Amino acid sequence: MSQSVSFDPVADRYDETRIIPPYALPVIARGLLHLGEIPAGGTLLEIGVGTGRIGLPLLGEGVNLTGVDISPRMVERLHMKYEAMRQAEPRHTWGTLTTQLTDITALPFPSGAFDAALAVHVLHLVPEWRRALDEALRVVKPGGALLLGQEQRESDDVQHRVQNTWIAFAQDLGYTAAYPGAGYSTIVSDARARGLRVDEHALTVWDVSATPREVLRWITERTWSRTWAVPDGIFAESARRLAAWVEREYGGALDAPQRMPISFAVARIRRR
């Protein structure tokens, strides 16, 4: 089985920690359909479909979605949410949802099977991310695109500051808390270097807020996937140091909401 990171450990709380506001979801969905040139009733593959944070709005636009993932609990929640949405709006025209538990570096689909493919915030979890990228491009029709989506934050917001401080503490204790795969910018640069056609787009922007205490809890409760592989002893000490740092840094503002602007960027990647 793949060495990619499964989100089974946080399937029950994943949606609550990675919220996109309702008004932004249809903008993202329609933007993806436009960039992917997906016709009405067309077919889309989403690798790392998870609980359907992006996929469900696309199904609401009538797209026939095939989602693949390695996390059974995440996919189970996707189907539960989809069924609840269909029951709440029985007259709406929904797309067809098909899912498979499979490794995205070896997709079980013929070449050219889909109008487009989609990957949102997933390839940083995949050691063989180049192979996954090639597989996604293989299964789209000639001229079709892989849409690489990413939520982008400002580098000095409270979440980044607290995360980066924890990473530094873990490294001081002898553990490098690195993702196994590659992030958005690395993938875009690599795709261009390999001669693939890449154009980038910003679909929408929104604000979220979090208190320093909430961000600290997100790390110390190990909701963040980057914390999962850290040995327990090292993690306990890094969490203790982080809690002390947050207390010193934010003091009386521990429970003051901090504004965090987020943009949703998409790189459209195609073969020449």
Residue found under tokens 């504004």:
259
Residue found under tokens 């261009």:
192
**Percent of the chain whose pLDDT exceeds 90:** 88
| The predicted structure's pLDDT at residue 142 | 96
Residue found under tokens 């029985």:
90
Q: Rounded to a whole number, what is the distance in angstroms from the first to the last CA of the chain? A: 32
- Provide the β-strand partners of residue 146: 117, 269
Say how far apart CA 266 and CA 143 lie, in whole Å. 17
For 228-253, the pLDDT digits (tens) are 999 999 999 999 999 999 999 999 99
Predicted confidence (pLDDT) at residue 163 exceeds the cutoff of 50: yes
| The predicted structure's pLDDT at residue 10 | 81
Predicted confidence (pLDDT) at residue 1 exceeds the cutoff of 50: no
- Between 177 and 118, residue with greater pLDDT: 118
Whether the Cβ atoms of residue 235 and residue 227 lie closer than 8 Å to each other:
yes
| The predicted structure's pLDDT at residue 3 | 66
From the list 7, 164, 160, 149, the residue with the least C-alpha distance to 78 is 7
Rounded alpha-carbon distances, angstroms, from residue 242 to 141, 176, 228: 48, 16, 16
Rounded alpha-carbon distances, angstroms, from residue 39 to 18, 60, 185, 236: 29, 14, 29, 51
Classify domain 8-154+179-209+260-270 at the CATH topology level.
Rossmann fold (3.40.50)
| The predicted structure's pLDDT at residue 167 | 97
pTM, two decimals, is 0.92
Amino acid at 227: T
SS3 readout for the chain:
CCCCCCCHHHCCCHHHHCCCCCCHHHHHHHHHHHHHCCCCCCEEEEECCCCCCCHHHHHHCCCEEEEEECCHHHHHHHHHHHHHHHHHCCCCCCCCEEEEECCCCCCCCCCCCEEEEEEECCHHHCCCHHHHHHHHHHCEEEEEEEEEEEEEECCCCHHHHHHHHHHHHHHHCCCCCCCCCCCHHHHHHHHHHCCCEEEEEEEEEEEEEECHHHHHHHHHCCCCHHHCCCCHHHHHHHHHHHHHHHHHHHHHHCCCCEEEEEEEEEEEEECC
Among 114-118, 196-200, 221-225, the least confident range: 221-225
> Which letter, b or e, does each residue of 133-150 get, where b requires 16 or more Cβ atoms within 10 Å of its Cβ?
bbbbbbbbeeebbbbbbb
Say how far apart CA 118 and CA 37 lie, in whole Å. 12
Question: How confident is the model over 146-161, as a mean pLDDT?
Answer: 92
From the list 267, 89, 69, 94, the residue with the least C-alpha distance to 187 is 267
- The count of other CB atoms within 10 Å of the CB of residue 13 is 12
- Between 17 and 135, residue with greater pLDDT: 135
Question: How confident is the model over 151-161, as a mean pLDDT?
Answer: 89
